[in-house]
Structure 1
Amino acid sequence: SEAEAARAEAEAILLRARKDAERLLGAASAQAQEATSHAEQLRSSTTAETDQARQQTAELNRTAEQRLAEAETRLRESRLEAEKVLAEAKEAAAKQLAAAESQNEQRTRTAKSEIARLVGEATKSADTLKEEAEQALADARAEAERLVAEATEKAGTAAAEDAAAQLAKAARSAEEVLTKASEDARSTTKAASEEAERIRREAEAEADR
């Protein structure tokens, strides 16, 4: 029936948005963990320095690890929030359709318009959460790079410089992954918005008949 087809379309759009959000958040989390690993390598490479330099480096590394831990926490919270938003939208759409199926044709058309609205809201929410995840990773990467630069300047050892170079390479890799994930997110969000708009137009056209 038209109601079942509309429900299937809404579920497909929500599923694509959720998978895209999970992929982006997963990539961000992996890069944050890699940055933490390089920070650990930097700390272990400065054991031959003076006590003062070691203390300064340890403090910088603790700060870097704290910033990265905070970023990972925000990423986890964003993932949970994305899943919650999508689940609520799907549940609301299903309830609306169930109620409409027991009513007349006009109620069904109204339900389809409501589905389009819910899908649009879910898409916007997922897009916002993706942007928050991107910003969280960018902040963590920038903070790690700054702290490593400070540690390298204070320590002045070849080992620290090598660790800094490795972290810079990891940051570039993270940026490439994030750029690709962002492009995928924009593509999926655009497709979801277009699909929601198509459903809305169909519902309006049927209502005018």
Structure 2
Amino acid sequence: KGTLKDKIAVAVKMCKEALSQEQKLTFLQEAKILKQYDHFNIFKLIGVCTQRQPIYIIMEPVPGGDFLSFLRKEMLLLGDKNCIHRDLAARNCLGGNNVLKISDFGMSRQEDGGVYSSSGLKQIPIKWTAPEALNYGRYRSESGAWSFGILLWETFSLGVCPYPGMTNQQAQEQVERGYWVSASQQCPEDVYKTM
């Protein structure tokens, strides 16, 4: 959190000074992607401070915190723009005052063909990642549909981490075998089928 000179409250994301140049560029990738969006339900970028260390990304503040409910239209908007978020989860959906914003575009990629290939599984949210990305490192804009299903599961499980009782490796092995998280008691059958 922070305040601009004219007393406007802002959200501030800081890049640690000890990062390599490549890591700093990766950090700034989030701002580059956010700059392209001016949508009510996506975090608004206010600015970037790069002249001194540490580097800051300045965004609009969103009151509240993790929001365990989500509307499908935001995912369609990202898909229409060939944006591959790669970290869609309840922890990255912030809301308040009847507003929901998708945040944390740090792992996102904007791809003309709607496909992004990654080498390795470094720092990806295994339990939220689509099987084709886990198995082959290929993300498509449609990969967000899998993550959206997991986000719905989180919502109707009252914020429980997906694949409870399993490590990331165990969850990945189960997904490779075709397993999908079981419905919680709070989840209506039609919602579970949508997942």
The alignment's TM-score, normalised by the length of structure 1, stands at 0.22
Structure whose CA Rg is larger = 1
From the two aligned structures, give the one with the greater strand fraction: 2
> Comparing both structures, which one devotes a greater share of its residues to helix?
1
Structure ranking higher on relative contact order (CA contacts 8 Å, 6+ apart) = 1
